[in-house]
Chains A and B, each alone.
Chain A
Amino acid sequence: MAKIKTLADLKKMREDLQSKVDLREKADSPESYVQIKVGMATSGIASGAKEVMDFLIEALEKRNIEAVVSQTGDMGYCFAEPTIEVQKPGEEPIVFGYVDIKKADEIIEKYIKRGELVDGIIPQNYQVIDDKDNKKA
């Protein structure tokens, strides 16, 4: 192990290491990042959700978008698999259906980057327990 000789050394090292705990850091305060949940129940996986998820992670990183991509269980929209839920900071989550890689790319470019809505939004008719309280500072 190399010695840390200056504060600059430490800072550089921190940059490198941050990604390691990044995942957790963002999970801990996800409000400030784009959150994407990919429905990954058995049916979702069967319909290609895994590929979509891999793509999303890779694409977001390449395009320098700070986001948390996570898997979640059955979203209850089996008819529209694969489904993903996207929540931008301070906004209500939006669920997209029939997401393939192309669609995912579009969601990133239009909705996430520019705020334009794209086709395939599934109107919400459920309450996520998780989102009842997002006020924690």
Chain B
Amino acid sequence: MSHIKVKIKEKDLNTIKQICKSFNNEPKELINVLHKTQEHFGYLPAEIQEVVAQELNVPVAKVYGVVTFYSFFTMLPKGKHPVSICTGTACYVRGADNVLQEFKRQLGIEVGETTEDGEFSLSCLRCVGACGLAPVVLVGDKTYGRVAPDGVKAIIDEYKK
């Protein structure tokens, strides 16, 4: 067995190096670094974690341990239109689960998955603080309030080409 190769585009490598450097390559800044990196790449695939690990001199297993601990970090690319359903308590008691089920049915994917065409991904989040509008659905940055299951199709259609 020779050394493990991690392949990455030069541009991306430099970006990650830059980010790590902006945090002085300090291991305690790992989470900040991951935030910035995910902000840039949209997700944190293995090769990116490898580079971050090298730059911060942290075992890559630890980086992975951190990435998988925090629900904000994802190793999968999100869809072009990430759909997030708030499942905070206020939304729950106002029927968020039915809305979620309807999204799953309409998109044919489970939570955490992306549609085959890469258009939509589905996730749940806890309370965006728009409890007055419960149940709340986010598509990208746009917020939909008081969503009912029968309104789901219309929301999806808005984004269909």
Q: Do chains A and B make direct contact within the complex (CB under 8 angstroms)?
A: no
Binding site for B on A (CB under 8 A): none
